[in-house]
């Protein structure tokens, strides 16, 4: 599978990665999906300490034992579970980040993290302190690079200006084109990559809509989603499904290094990964998709 450089780092990630959040807590099933991804050439795996109270990191770490040198491993920090695990609160402090990384390393069964990401963030955070924590973790060898996971334009701009992030993870799909408004061009100009999460919009950009029906999504009604998917079906040919068209759309922008759809079944994983084998969208196809879909806008966090 094609690999792209992640920002200005020396990390080269497969253009289709695996978002591990949807793996679930059945260890055997999750391990099969992870191993299938490896067998299919996927090298980028993204998790977070928040997922399943840390169990997701444990499952990913165990499944990747003996294969660590084959993968680019990413996780996230900042959401701190309450003591009784009935909720979490936001903690971007230097002290917490430097404490939490040790627990992630333990759960992931590794002595370093390739990409450590701030799992959110607001403009009111102690941003310089947060950046200092990541920089120290780099110097100490616990992480190789760092990035942020955010859809907030004001936060993204601050980290672009003030830090050495190599990536920003944001929701991006045909149904959520908000990054096109300003984020993608900003990142591209600064040599920072976008990691596209939610590229198939919770499965709405797939053939399953014809069996299960559509749902509302952002500023789309269910009827509008259905209509768009019908048009995308007409655009595809025998060599590319709606899902694969959706994935190729997110990868069409040069700022996007990888798309990370989730998978809860091996068959779903295989279908997603096969998007790496099909041709990219033509300029005409991209223009058609943009004319059919909405150029969504970020209304908040300006």
Catalytic residues: 51
CATH number of 3-292: 3.20.20.100
**In this predicted model, what pLDDT tens digit does every residue of 210-245 receive, in sequence order?**
888 899 999 999 999 999 999 999 886 667 899 999
pLDDT tens track of the chain, all 302 residues? 999 999 999 999 999 999 999 999 999 999 999 999 999 999 999 999 988 888 999 999 999 999 999 999 999 999 887 877 778 889 999 999 999 999 999 999 999 999 999 999 999 999 999 999 999 999 999 999 999 999 999 999 999 999 999 999 999 999 999 999 989 999 999 999 999 999 999 999 998 898 888 999 999 999 999 999 999 998 866 678 999 999 999 999 999 999 999 999 999 999 999 999 998 999 999 999 999 999 999 988 88
Cα gap 248→193, rounded to integer Å: 16
- Point out which residues pair with 228 in neighbouring strands: none
Q: What's residue 210's pLDDT? A: 87
- Point out which residues pair with 197 in neighbouring strands: 171
Domain coordinates in residue numbering, the chain = 3-292
Mean pLDDT for all residues in the chain: 95
Q: What share of the chain is helix, strand, coil (3-state, %, to 5)?
A: 45, 20, 40
Contact 289, 247 (CB under 8 A): no
Please tell me what DSSP assigns to residue 173: B
- Point out which residues pair with 46 in neighbouring strands: 19, 74
Q: What's residue 84's pLDDT? A: 78
In sequence order, the 6+-apart residues with CB closer than 8 A to the CB of 283 are none
Contact 31, 59 (CB under 8 A): yes
Q: Pull the structure tokens for residue 159.
A: 């980290």
**In this predicted model, what pLDDT tens digit does every residue of 246-271 receive, in sequence order?**
999 999 999 999 999 999 999 999 99
Chain position carrying tokens 């980028």:
44
Cα gap 24→63, rounded to integer Å: 14
Contact 86, 123 (CB under 8 A): no
> Around 219, how many Cα atoms within 13 Å sit in the side-chain half-sphere?
11
**In this predicted model, what pLDDT tens digit does every residue of 286-295 receive, in sequence order?**
999 999 999 9
Cα gap 99→77, rounded to integer Å: 10
């Amino acid at each position: 599978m094609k690999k792209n450089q992640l920002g200005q780092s020396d990390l080269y990630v497969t253009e289709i990665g695996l978002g591990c959040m949807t793996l679930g807590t059945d260890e055997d099933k999750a391990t099969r999906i992870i191993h299938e991804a490896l067998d299919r050439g996927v090298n980028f795996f993204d998790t977070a300490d928040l997922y399943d109270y840390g169990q997701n990191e444990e499952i990913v770490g165990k499944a990747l034992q003996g294969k660590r040198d084959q993968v680019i491993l990413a996780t996230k920090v900042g959401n701190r579970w309450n003591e009784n695990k009935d909720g979490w609160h936001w903690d971007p402090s230097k002290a917490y980040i430097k404490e939490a990384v040790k627990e992630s390393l333990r759960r992931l069964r590794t002595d370093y993290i390739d990409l450590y990401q701030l799992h959110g963030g607001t403009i009111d955070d102690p941003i310089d302190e947060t950046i200092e924590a990541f920089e120290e973790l780099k110097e100490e060898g616990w992480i190789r690079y760092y990035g942020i996971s955010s859809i907030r334009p004001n936060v993204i701009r601050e980290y672009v200006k003030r830090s050495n992030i190599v990536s920003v993870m944001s929701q991006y799909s045909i149904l959520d084109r908000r990054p096109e408004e300003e984020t993608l061009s900003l990142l591209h100009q600064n040599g920072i990559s976008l990691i596209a999460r939610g590229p198939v919009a919770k499965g709405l950009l797939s053939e399953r809509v014809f069996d299960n029906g559509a749902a509302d999504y952002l500023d789309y009604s269910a009827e509008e989603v259905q209509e768009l998917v019908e048009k995308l079906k007409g655009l595809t040919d025998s060599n590319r499904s709606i899902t694969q068209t959706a994935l190729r759309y997110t990868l069409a922008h040069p700022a996007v290094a990888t798309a990370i759809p989730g998978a809860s079944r091996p068959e779903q994983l295989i279908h997603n990964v096969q998007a790496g084998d099909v041709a990219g969208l033509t300029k005409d196809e991209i223009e058609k998709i943009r004319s059919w879909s909405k150029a969504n806008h970020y209304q908040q966090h300006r």
